[in-house]
Amino acid sequence: MPEVFRELRVELEERAYPILIGKGLLGHRDLTPFVSGRQIMIVTNTTVAPLYLESAKQSFPGCQVDEVILPDGEVHKNWEVLNRIFDALLEKRHSRKTTLVALGGGVVGDMTGFAAACYQRGVGFIQIPTTLLAQVDSSVGGKTGINHPLGKNMIGAFHQPGCVLIDTDTLKTLPAREVSAGLAEVIKYGFIQDREFIGWLEENIGALKALDARALTEAIYRSCRCKADVVAKDEREGGLRAILNLGHTFGHAIETHAGYGNWLHGEAVGAGMVMAAHLSLRLGTLTEEEYRRVESIVAAAELPMRAPEGMTPRNFLDLMAVDKKNVDGNLRLVLLRSLGDAEVTADFPQSELMSTLEAFCK
Ligand SMILES: NC(=O)c1ccc[n+]([C@@H]2O[C@H](COP(=O)([O-])OP(=O)(O)OC[C@H]3O[C@@H](n4cnc5c(N)ncnc54)[C@H](O)[C@@H]3O)[C@@H](O)[C@H]2O)c1
Ligand SMILES: O=C(O)C(=O)C[C@@H](O)[C@H](O)[C@H](O)COP(=O)(O)O
Ligand SMILES: [Zn+2]
């Protein structure tokens, strides 16, 4: 039987940090050992603040706690809104000993981490992720940043948090659509590295959608374990880490095309993973049966399986041309060697890629 409290470490020598996972941790777990001075700035948004800001403050007894509340949405993951964090830090005279606390989903987490990487050339930060997606993915690993109108996450820095606190109770208020978006990144770990986890997910997807606490804790633990392991081996994406990008080359193109509205990140990744699997099937590395399993688990998570209405193969190719994984102008994709095993490769005929794009843009 899975436990309701789990703990992991991201092993990065002097930058190693714990991931604490369980029910009812927010406001009860003392996080002051991860604060360098006495000042903290909690960064959150207009949706999360009324739900969890007061509880979050209880996790920092004895600290001077300030807050900055950002507008909600991927469309606000930009320079203008990032600057509001710097304005608040300077107005409240935060020193280089301050600690930033990201309370929210991946948008708040990525922006807070980037602000922490830049403020006075770098201060500490803590991740308190409150969406499933942020709990299984964005709060771990130190990728921080903002979007550009021409490309997703194009401006950013690697900056690791000092601690990640995951309270599964916060998921009780998460809309079902956001739960599905988070499941995309959970399923991703199975596809790239853990075939056995795919079987577990096929059996437990209903319990996850119903927010069963034990199933959630298990899925979050296994996801974070996979991510922590990859990050410990390749913190700055020199090679291996790029497998965490399965479905993202297609997915980021979808998000950018959509103007960072309408499509959630996890939804775009869901469709993108099916596209990557389809190309792998065409290249003969994935069997028909494996491809059907990919389709059926993505469908069970209630994620989209097609490109957005009106998006063309040309749109995909133009947007994928700025992907960060590309080398010397050559497109590189994360494809499946088999179910549970991914690779980054530029070794695919353009004609096969076109066939996949055409199949999904119908
Ligand atoms: N840094 C990384 O490694 C990494 C990994 C994956 C995704 N990301 C980024 O994360 C972002 C997506 O994150 P997301 O899916 O969390 O989106 P999000 O941050 O926009 O959160 C989704 C929605 O849920 C709301 N919300 C958050 N917690 C809630 C709660 N407990 N109850 C009710 N509502 C709540 C938010 O206000 C928002 O409206 C994207 O920008 C993506 O690029 C980064
Ligand atoms: O942590 C990583 O590495 C990932 O690729 C995780 C992704 O789920 C995440 O969306 C990440 O932000 C994508 O990074 P990018 O470098 O492709 O912008
Ligand atoms: Zn992602």
Q: pLDDT tens digits, residue range 75-130?
A: 999 999 999 999 999 999 999 999 999 999 999 999 999 999 999 999 999 999 99
Ligand nearest to the CA of 322: 2
Who lines ligand 1 at CB under 6 A?
45, 47-48, 51, 72, 74, 77, 104-108, 110, 130-131, 133-134, 137-138, 141, 143, 153, 170, 173-174, 178, 181, 264-266
**Could you tell me which residues come within 8 angstroms of residue 62 by beta carbon, excluding any fewer than 6 positions away?**
32, 38
Report whether pLDDT(1) > 50.
Answer: no
143 is catalytic: yes
| ipTM here | 0.99
Distance from residue 235's CA to the centre of ligand 2 (Å): 12
Cα separation, 166 vs 171, in Å, equals 10
Read off the pLDDT of each residue in 255-260 and give the average, rounded to a whole number: 96
The pLDDT score that the predictor gives to residue 3 is 56
**Could you tell me which residues come within 8 angstroms of residue 241 by beta carbon, excluding any fewer than 6 positions away?**
230, 231, 233, 234, 235
* pLDDT tens digits, one per residue of 319-353: 999 999 999 999 999 999 999 999 999 999 999 99
State yes or no: 278 annotated in a binding site: no
The CATH number that applies at residue 262 is 1.20.1090.10
Statement to judge: residues 135 and 159 lie in one domain: yes
Mean pLDDT (the chain) is: 97
Beta-bridge mates of residue 65: 40
Statement to judge: residues 128 and 49 lie in one domain: yes
Statement to judge: residues 237 and 329 lie in one domain: yes
Statement to judge: residues 151 and 187 lie in one domain: no
The total number of structural domains that make up the chain: 2
The CATH number that applies at residue 101 is 3.40.50.1970
Report whether pLDDT(146) > 70.
Answer: yes
State yes or no: 267 annotated in a binding site: no
Residue showing tokens 């369980």: 22
Report whether pLDDT(2) > 60.
Answer: no
The pLDDT score that the predictor gives to residue 66 is 98
What SS3 state is found at 127?
Answer: strand
324 is catalytic: no
Statement to judge: residues 154 and 227 lie in one domain: no
Statement to judge: residues 221 and 166 lie in one domain: no
Statement to judge: residues 166 and 258 lie in one domain: no
Closest CA to 159 of 99, 219, 105: 99
State yes or no: 190 annotated in a binding site: no
Portion of the chain with pLDDT greater than 70, in percent:
99
Of how many residues is the chain composed? Answer: 362
Statement to judge: residues 80 and 109 lie in one domain: yes
State yes or no: 171 annotated in a binding site: yes
Statement to judge: residues 132 and 152 lie in one domain: yes
Cα 179-183-189 angle, rounded to 5 deg: 155
The pLDDT score that the predictor gives to residue 341 is 98
Boundary-marking domain end, from 170, 187, 219: 170
Report whether pLDDT(133) > 50.
Answer: yes
Statement to judge: residues 122 and 224 lie in one domain: no
Statement to judge: residues 148 and 196 lie in one domain: no
The pLDDT score that the predictor gives to residue 4 is 80
The dihedral sign for the CA sequence 282, 242, 196, 167? negative
* Nearest atom, ligand 1, residue 110 CA: 1
Boundary-marking domain end, from 170, 198, 214: 170
237 is catalytic: yes
| 8 Å CB contact between 111 and 43 | yes
Statement to judge: residues 150 and 183 lie in one domain: no
57 is catalytic: no
Residue 36 sits in which domain range? 5-170
Boundary-marking domain end, from 170, 201, 235: 170
